[in-house]
Amino acid sequence: MYTVELVRLIEKMSLENCTPEIDINSIKLSQPDVNRPALQLAGFFDHFDSERVQVIGHVEHAYMQQMDQEQRLQILSKLMDYHVPCIIFCRNLEVSESFIKLAVEKGVPILKSSKTTSSFMAEVIRWLNVELAPRITIHGGLVDVYGEGILIMGESGIGKSEAALELIKRGHRLVTDDVVEIKKVSDDTLIGTSPDITRHFIELRGIGIIDVKTLFGVESVKNTQAIDLVIKLEEFNKDKQYDRFGLDEQYIEFLGNKVVCHSIPIRPGRNLAIICESAAVNHRQKKMGYNAAQELYNRVTNNLRKGDMH
């Protein structure tokens, strides 16, 4: 189970802290969803997920305003007794002094945002989904090639870093070399990023560590990238059958998500960068509905039919 500090949410969303007396450094969020506590304000607490960020919008605020003060403080006290991580007021709605005093007593931070409730909630959920996503760390390199995230995998010393460096020289962007942290942000999307400590560094055997951002400029690097395609580099084996047409896609699975995977045999003289570029463009074409292997297959079968007719 992953967590994210409340302090980071406050920084990310530029929230105003109405309860600076409360120590918020130890508060962590573990749920990517948020809750508008309308039913709870009406007194219904069954199935209440108290670990979620609580968001007060115009409707909840208006509902509280029509209560008398004693009733309002009583229900808010009950809400805070569930140890919610924080309560956020959107649209810069006014927060009463009595509410802030109660929140300080209960140790629940009260925050404010100027954004509209729906857009604020959408932004928070999207950000928390990424921050709290399931993740794994694998050995490989990730490069953005023509907008496609190419994950280069293979045995140690096979030439992953050299291929990445050649791609950078050709104008593509490095996300990470050697170690890739993969997050599953949805059932369709895997996001790759670099550990902070090795970000934008490449290790080249015989030369050592090079700083890509310093050598090639800021346009040659990127912090995160969706993983669209995996290229597995392997030693050429003359006894192994390699796919020469590409009619059937091969897949590799990370965190339950399937990604198209090509196994590329390595021999001296093969230009890995051009192979990676071609694979990226070909993959993009397939996503746009054109499959070169299928086109060739159709041409051959049409030719055979014509030959049979004659």
> Residue 306, annotated ligand binder?
no
Q: Is 159 annotated as a binding residue?
A: yes
Instruction: Flag whether 192 is marked binding.
Output: no
pLDDT per position as a tens digit, 82-109:
999 999 999 999 999 999 999 999 999 9
Neighbours of 134 (CB within 10 A): 13
DSSP-derived letter for residue 237 is -
Taking the model in full, what pTM does it have? 0.78
Catalytic residue list contains 172: no
On the question of pLDDT at 217 being above 70, the answer is: yes
In the annotation, is 144 catalytic?
A: no
* Marked catalytic residue, from 36, 72, 112, 160: 160
Domain with CATH 3.40.50.300 in the chain: 135-297
83 is catalytic: no
pLDDT (0 to 100) of residue 239? 77
Is 156 annotated in some ligand binding site? yes
Question: 113-157 pLDDT, tens per residue?
Answer: 999 999 999 999 999 998 999 999 999 999 999 999 999 999 988
What CATH number does domain 135-297 carry, 3.50.50.60, 3.40.50.300, 3.40.50.720, 3.10.129.10?
Answer: 3.40.50.300
Specify the CATH number for 4-131; select among 3.40.718.10, 3.40.50.720, 3.40.1390.20, 3.30.479.30.
Answer: 3.40.1390.20
160 is catalytic: yes
* CB-side neighbour CA atoms (13 Å) of 305: 6
Distance CA 209, CA 211 (A): 7
Among residues 78, 126, 139, 258, the one annotated as catalytic is 139
